[in-house]
Amino acid sequence: MNEYRRKKRLPALAMNAVITAEAQKHSENMASNRTDFGHSGFKTRMKRIIPQINGNGSMSENVAYGNMTARQVVEEWLESSMHRENIVGPYNVTGIGIAADRRGALYFTQIFAAN
């Protein structure tokens, strides 16, 4: 991710523990069917994250599902204009969560934010 941002002359994203916890929770919820695959609950995640990171309200989220490596997920996101837009967005912090369902399929969440 940061390698791609550097190629585009954008600053690297710093990992943030608060955002990582929310991304992990979302991945776990999707993997355990507590929520559908996708972005449901994103506004709630925003409301929890923004005050804790002194965020400016700018946030986005990418999700993926399947038997892929993290590198493969990023490659797929980069092929999608919407996901790529999030990757190169005006963000400086991020968090990533990965969880497996009972069959071993992985659920990936990456949240981007600015503070």
- What are the DSSP E strand ranges found in 2-113? 14-15, 59-66, 93-100, 106-113
Q: What pLDDT shows up at residue 103?
A: 96
Parallel, antiparallel, or unpaired: how do β-strands 93-100 and 14-15 relate? parallel
Number of compact structural domains in the chain = 1
Q: In this predicted structure, what is the pLDDT of residue 108? A: 99
Side by side, which strands form the sheet with 14-15?
A: 14-15, 93-100, 106-113, 59-66
CATH number reported for the structural domain that contains residue 82 in this entry? 3.40.33.10
For 55, the domain range is: 1-113
**Each residue of 35-85: pLDDT tens digit?**
999 999 999 999 999 999 999 989 999 999 999 999 999 999 999 999 999
